[in-house]
Amino acid sequence: MKKIFGMTFIIAICALIFAPNFLPAQQAKPWEQIPTPRLHDFKPHQPQRIVLKNGIVLFLQEDHELPFVSGSVSIPGGAREEDAAKTGLVSLYGQTWRTSGTAKLSGDALDDLLEAKAAHIETGGDVDSTALSWDSLKGDADQVFSLAMDLLFHPQFNAEKLQLAQQQVATEIMRRNDDEGEIASRESAKLVYGANSPYTRQPEFATIGAVTVDDLKAWHDRTINGKLIVAISGDFDPAAMEAKLRAAFEGLPAVKAAPPRHDTFAGPKPGLWFINKEDVNQSNVQIVGLGTDRRNPDVPALVVMNEILGGGFASRLFQKVRTELGLAYAVGGSYGYAWDHPGEFRAEVLTKSATTVDATKAALDQIAGLTTRPFTDEELARAKDNILNSFLFRYDTREKVLAERVKLEFYGYPADYLETYKAALEKVTLADLNRVATKYIHPDKLAILVVGNGPEIKPGLDELKLGPVQTVDISIPMPKQPGAEQKQ
Amino acid sequence: MQRKTSPWIYKGVMALMLAAIALAGARAQDLKSFEQRITTKVLLNGLTLVICERPEAPVFSYSTFIDAGDVNDPSGESGLAHMFEHLAFKGTSQIGTKDYAAEKIALAKVEAANDAYEAEYLKAVGRDEAKLAELKKAFKEAEAEAHKYVIPNQFTDVAERNGAEGLNAETQLDETIYFWSMPENRLELWAWLESGRLADVVPREFYKERDVVIEERRMRTDSNPIGRLVEQFLATAYVAHNYGRSAIGWPSEVSQINATEAMDFHKKYYVGANIVVAVVGDVKASEMLPMLEKYFSNIPAGPKPEEMTTVEPKQFAEKTVAIREQTQPFYLEGYHRPDYRSPDAEVYDAITDIMSNGRVSRLYRSLVRDQQIAAEAEGFSPFPGDKYPGLFAFYAVPLPGHTPAEMRDAIHKEIDKLKTADVTDEELAMYKTRTRADLLRGLADNQGLANSLAQYQTRYGDWRELFRQLDKVDKVTKADIRRVANEVFVPSNRTESWIETEAAPAAAAQKDGGAQ
């Protein structure tokens, strides 16, 4: 090994010194002469999984490197389940739960107590779940765990803290049209799923104003009976921790399964949409369609296709639009897959107003090219190398392994999903790529949204020849109460 | 930066604040255990290698820390350090080319064609438009000719195919940082790639990449309300020092940077004495050091570049920046403070913590919880850099219906309390506890640790300072906080800036995307 290295080094030095006259070095690809020794043996450290009689699942992941203990409780049910007339409820719940505190200890007192120990307990709401999490130094772990359990089982939602949360969300509503990128991603997602879909509907002043303290309590009482997943990691004694968790969770009633969802996903109406924003000099172009979910056996082939389309520096979109044409700093795209519902196909390019049409055409051409320009062996090999050689970074820390296991448990995937997924990636062939591209890439089913400075966009968007340019109204419905904020 | 998704300025001041906290938080647990696992070696060319063994998983992360950033851009060339950083992803004489000898000649012609074009373009009088068009055409032809020899993105391609994760770089005002993580069995390949691009950069595809960087400016600064405000705020707060200059570059300057200037910057600042490379992970220093030493010895020696002479003069006039536009209101102010070497550096950290850290902080409790006028209110420091005297800044996001003026008055009231009464024992103790714990938390991450080690090795000449700073943290007193607040938070040392919402014109119908 050392010898080979020595030679490489000498070649490298010669090339540096004699570069003008001494040429074969670059054709020699000196980096290919560098040996790749066998990777050190490594088996990701899996957490201990315990299923309680009532169906609650515990994960214990020991990690004694640093003197900390952290934990989380994941609770099924999120914003997609909230009443449309109260959109924003789960976000308000996620904030108010923690800031209100418990019957014994107010949220403010909890802040003082925890911060003095550099410890944290936080709550939050997401599209399909809510969660409670905590972390502290090892020495404070017992006390912080008790406080977290008190908050989990005896929350005390109060009106003042709900009002604070409502002000936070009101501020977000008021500001949601200030940032071009935020407008583009939000409005393009609405094109894919529909403006009133549980996945994209947005809070308004009226819907957050309709949420009451009783709504938050009712939400909590309903979801706490679901299949909780409790995950602990860090510097603890596993037997003692298991006993503690059993004491806290074993007495709860049998978990209630979440009712199945019956969402429909039609995908976007094909066409061209535009939102005018005259304080920018760059257009944000989103090209969107409906994606798939992870249970689809074509996902591994789609992941390889994504790598070729928009994965890294060598991807088709990056090479063409950024490197070759210099039309964008930010450019990318992929056929998306979510855990339990269809994700989005999304390609985006950010380019100066005057090159909006050129850059959009270039991106559309690369998307269409997935079915017309055959994939090469070189592209396949590169994409697989990119994905497989960095696969290790999905489980190189115990924290990541634990987070992955919690996700798999939450969505009902097998514990060895990562291994089977990796094996499937390794088997993807050119024929698979061509098959999935033909099956899933339909340029005529995509919607294109441009957010940009209308008067500066020349040539105009009609040059794209994608039918009439339809404008999207993003004005913010203002509250009706007297003395409220004026319309933006 | 190459392709960050949540970069600085993009998310506005909030992200900047987090970066400042990350710096302040990076200190450590047990110096002794690190002494045993860290090997430091200064090579003959002056370059310093810091290797930290952390064999938790068969991976490593690295951080190459160049002690030069956009603050070092020569006059008229703002954005140059960042432009060069982009060039460092384009390969070398050995990678990214089909035939370097021929490419070198072609690149010289590109440069000559660009010089000819710029000379005509910049003529104060008598510019010949027809000639300009011709020169532009000649330039494009030269560029196309040089492009024939390019194997695009081969450098990054080789890295990514070998498992590089989080491959990126950042140009700050003070420094330029290159980083990624890899499986441990690619350490030698990494050493070849990294030492190669530091020593042997080729101005390949320079002018196309310049267009890419200008798009980056449009995204981060021009098309972002807070990006626009921050640029004007800094330009107003500073009269002499380069901290006041646009970091990504003024449009007229960044659009005219040429490859010769970029290569001159490289020659001056990318010398061994100006570079620290830190590697953290599953790496045995005793086995790997000879190999690393051989590769990194390729980098030219050269003297440590001279220090900047400009010192920002004492501010004596209170300054304001008011932007009126159709975006929501925002408030930001700043006071000049000393650099990171100041004996009071930790006192500033204490003030930041007590004023801003979490729901117990004074600004949250006052402006957000009790007065209910703001959605967020925090202070952060130092900004926009720490190597030279920066600012102690405060910002607040008004709730709907509240104004920047209310934010300013409420922040000033909280600052006055710092000046007239001591902070409590609990607040001071909390700062010390949290700083210690945050430092510990940061030690479990290869990339974060590599960045911190490289930074402290550069700034203090010894990575151990990362740990020793806890002693200075422990020494901060209530009297220190009151003294510093009285020295620094005075009106004549202040720049205030805000966005005021302008009413939309009555007939603001949606424009049609230029489809007329």
Same domain, yes or no, for B290 and B320?
Answer: no
Mean pLDDT for B454-481 is 96
Same domain, yes or no, for B328 and B292?
Answer: no
| Among B296, B324, B353, residue at a domain's last position | B296
Contacts of residue A282 in chain B, CB cutoff 8 Å?
Answer: 215, 218-219, 222-223
Structural contact between residues B315 and B492, judged by C-beta atoms closer than 8 angstroms: yes
B110, part of any domain: no
Contacts of residue B225 in chain A, CB cutoff 8 Å?
Answer: 178-179, 279
Q: Which residue of B has its CA nearest to A67?
A: B440
Closest by CA position to A371, among listed A442, A445, A465, A448: A442
B90, part of any domain: yes
CATH number of the domain residue B378 falls in: 3.30.830.10
Interchain CB distance below 8 Å, B397 and A385 = no
pLDDT in tens, A128-178: 999 999 999 999 999 999 999 999 999 999 999 999 999 999 999 999 999
At B162 the pLDDT is 97
Query: Quick check: A5 contacting B, CB < 8 Å?
Result: yes
Of B95, B372, B399, the CB nearest to A31: B95
Phi, psi for B224 (deg, rounded to 5): -130, 120
Interchain CB distance below 8 Å, B208 and A458 = no
Same domain, yes or no, for B417 and B455?
Answer: yes
Mean pLDDT for B290-312 is 95
At A27 the pLDDT is 53
Interchain CB distance below 8 Å, B326 and A275 = no
Helix axes A299-306 and A377-389, enclosed angle (nearest 10) = 100
Mean pLDDT for A229-248 is 98
Interchain CB distance below 8 Å, B513 and A66 = no
Give CA separation, B384 vs B157, B176, B225, B234, B235, in Å.
33, 14, 18, 8, 11
**Residues in chain B, how many?**
516
Give how far the C-alpha of residue B95 lies from the chain's centroid of Cα atoms, to the nearest Å.
Answer: 28
Same domain, yes or no, for B486 and B429?
Answer: yes
A245 CA: distance to closest CA in chain B (Å): 25
Interchain CB distance below 8 Å, B510 and A8 = no
Q: Which residue, among A183, A313, A476, A485, would best test binding to B if mutated, counting the most B CBs under 10 Å from its CB?
A: A313
Same domain, yes or no, for B446 and B369?
Answer: yes
Contacts of residue A397 in chain B, CB cutoff 8 Å?
Answer: 56-57, 444
Q: Which residue of A has its CA nearest to B197?
A: A16
Q: How many CB pairs under 8 A join A and B?
A: 275
Mean pLDDT for A82-86 is 97
Mean pLDDT for B89-102 is 96
Same domain, yes or no, for B229 and B281?
Answer: yes
CA distance A367 to A287: 10
Q: How far apart are the first and last CA of chain A?
A: 68
SS3 for A270-337, per residue? CEEEEEECCCCCEEEEEEEEECEECCCCCHHHHHHHHHHHHHCCCCHHHHHHHHHCCCCCCEEEEECE
Same domain, yes or no, for B287 and B323?
Answer: no
| Interface predicted TM-score (ipTM) | 0.90
Contacts of residue B106 in chain A, CB cutoff 8 Å?
Answer: none
Phi, psi for B262 (deg, rounded to 5): -65, -40
Same domain, yes or no, for B326 and B266?
Answer: no
Evaluate if residue A2 carries a pLDDT over 60.
no
Same domain, yes or no, for B197 and B320?
Answer: no
Helix axes A107-115 and B425-441, enclosed angle (nearest 10) = 70
At B506 the pLDDT is 59
Interchain CB distance below 8 Å, B160 and A40 = no
Contacts of residue B295 in chain A, CB cutoff 8 Å?
Answer: 9
User: H or E segment at A354?
Assistant: none
B25, part of any domain: no
| Among B266, B296, B326, residue at a domain's last position | B296
Structural contact between residues B327 and A279, judged by C-beta atoms closer than 8 angstroms: yes
B314 CA: distance to closest CA in chain A (Å): 35
Evaluate if residue B16 carries a pLDDT over 80.
no
B222, part of any domain: yes
At A481 the pLDDT is 59
Contacts of residue B29 in chain A, CB cutoff 8 Å?
Answer: 66
Structural contact between residues A63 and A399, judged by C-beta atoms closer than 8 angstroms: yes
Q: What residues contact B23, with CB distance under 8 A and at least 6 apart? A: B386, B455
Contacts of residue B222 in chain A, CB cutoff 8 Å?
Answer: 280-282
B129, part of any domain: no
Q: Which residue, among A7, A106, A115, A350, would best test binding to B if mutated, counting the most B CBs under 10 Å from its CB?
A: A115
Query: Quick check: A121 contacting B, CB < 8 Å?
Result: no
SS3 label, residue B55: coil
Which sign does the torsion angle of CA B113, B118, B123, B128 carry?
positive
B312 CA: distance to closest CA in chain A (Å): 33
pLDDT in tens, B186-245: 999 999 999 999 999 999 999 999 999 999 999 999 999 999 999 999 999 999 999 999
CA distance A125 to A28: 55
Interchain CB distance below 8 Å, B101 and A19 = yes
Same domain, yes or no, for B396 and B350?
Answer: yes
SS3 label, residue A240: helix
A42 CA: distance to closest CA in chain B (Å): 7
| Among B251, B269, B296, residue at a domain's last position | B296
Q: What residues contact A214, with CB distance under 8 A and at least 6 apart? A: none
B20 CA: distance to closest CA in chain A (Å): 19
Partner B, chain A 180-199, Cβ-Cβ below 8 Å: 180-181
Task: Please count the structural domains in chain B.
Answer: 2
At A9 the pLDDT is 33
pLDDT in tens, B41-65: 999 999 999 999 999 999 999 999 9
Q: What is the percent of chain B with per-residue pLDDT over 90, rounded to a whole number? A: 89
Query: Quick check: A43 contacting B, CB < 8 Å?
Result: no
Query: Quick check: A280 contacting B, CB < 8 Å?
Result: yes
Q: Which residue, among A5, A178, A272, would best test binding to B if mutated, counting the most B CBs under 10 Å from its CB?
A: A178
Partner B, chain A 67-106, Cβ-Cβ below 8 Å: 67-68, 99
B105 CA: distance to closest CA in chain A (Å): 10
Structural contact between residues B490 and B44, judged by C-beta atoms closer than 8 angstroms: no
Same domain, yes or no, for B392 and B438?
Answer: yes
B185, part of any domain: yes
Which sign does the torsion angle of CA B151, B152, B158, B161 carry?
negative
Evaluate if residue A289 carries a pLDDT over 70.
yes
Query: Quick check: A467 contacting B, CB < 8 Å?
Result: no
Q: Which residue of B has its CA nearest to A111?
A: B360
B341, part of any domain: yes
Mean pLDDT for B447-463 is 97
Same domain, yes or no, for B402 and B434?
Answer: yes
Residue type, A346: R
Domain that holds residue B333: 314-501
Q: Which residue of A has its CA nearest to B365?
A: A108
B183, part of any domain: yes
